Copies of this chain bind each other. A is one copy, B any other.
Amino acid sequence: MDRAEPRVGRSPRVERVLASRAQWRQEVYRIIFEHDTPAGKGFDILLIAAILLSVTAVMLESVAEISIRHGPVLRTAEWLFTFLFTVEYGLRLATAISVKRYARSFYGVIDLLAVLPTYIGLVVAGGQAFIVIRILRVLRVFRVLKLTQFVGSERELLRALRASGYKIVVFLFAVLTSVVVIGSLMHFLEGAEGGFSSIPRSVYWAIVTITTVGYGDISPQTPIGQVLAAFLMILGYGIIAVPTGIVTVEMARTRGGLGELSSGRATPARTCASCAATGHDADASHCKYCGVAL
């Protein structure tokens, strides 16, 4: 994703590039790209606070009453945050190990998109609308947390989800087919009265129903439509078990393998030297099968 930014243990290449630079660029790099010094951590916390404040300002400005009364303050805040984020983006470009890599990385693109809308708003009316994309910068929080206890949790979740991927696609495919078939049937059974005025709208209703959201803006009125709807509800209620089962089993598996490790217990898989048995608990000091010290 963003190989431009070094891991805690810097690679030799990064060290070499940094060493050849002016002192201030080394310092700035350490603060804004790395997270393991007090200055680096402080910067991260300030940055996340600024992102959250900035997004809150954008959200509040969208509320008519607040916008009327506190509009100038909020717009000033927006410009202030945009200015700060622009400076930060400039510093990142100036100190990144590889400018090209950073600019094209996931976070690099997000960083640019976070400041662009305000400037576009000067030229095109309404361009500011997209400023809320700035919230994506908050995802950066995962990078900071990565250095602490969260590392295992996040990696474990992603691993389990990736392993479940194929099965979840199969499941979604089955759900979507059901939804199109039942939605179309409802369009012909219910007609425009209950709100099933077209197939796409009926399919939308079927999704609202199978996921058990149930807004109630569209709902069947005829007995036969209600029977079909009841069937769809029970289907949705029952098959939620499928993704749940898939993810649970994958998670249980992950815990088995690198699980111990990522849960914060630093025990590598232990093997008895005498009988080669594995599966020992993290706190075991003797093989549970033959009693020889591990």
Contact = CB atoms under 8 A, between A and B. Distances in A.
Contacts of A177: 135-136, 138-139
Interface in A69-107: none
A284 B285 CA distance: 13
Interface in A236-294: 236-238, 240-253, 255, 263-264, 279-281, 283-293
Given A237-B240, A240-B240, A280-B288, A170 B153 contact: yes
A251 B251 contact: no
Closest 6 CB pairs of A and B: A286-B291, A213-B214, A215-B216, A284-B288, A132-B184, A291-B291
Interface string A41-74: 0000000000000010011101110000000000
Interface string A149-174: 11011101100110100111111110
A169 B153 CA distance: 9
Contacts of A209: 213
A115 interface: no
Interface stretch (A4-12, A14-22, A23-31, A192-200): A192-200
Interface string A198-241: 11110110011111111111010001001101100110111011
Contact of A255 (B141, B154, B238, B253): B253
Report copies per complex: 4
B59 A199 contact: yes
Categorize the interface residue count of chain A. Answer: 35 or more
Contacts of A200: 59-60, 62-63, 223, 226
Given A150-B166, A156-B167, A181-B136, A211 B188 contact: no
Contacts of A130: 188
Contact of A149 (B63, B166, B289): B166
16 contacts: A55-B180, A64-B197, A64-B198, A132-B181, A135-B180, A142-B170, A153-B166, A157-B246, A201-B226, A212-B214, A214-B215, A215-B219, A217-B219, A242-B247, A245-B250, A249-B255
A246 B253 CA distance: 12
B203 A59 contact: yes
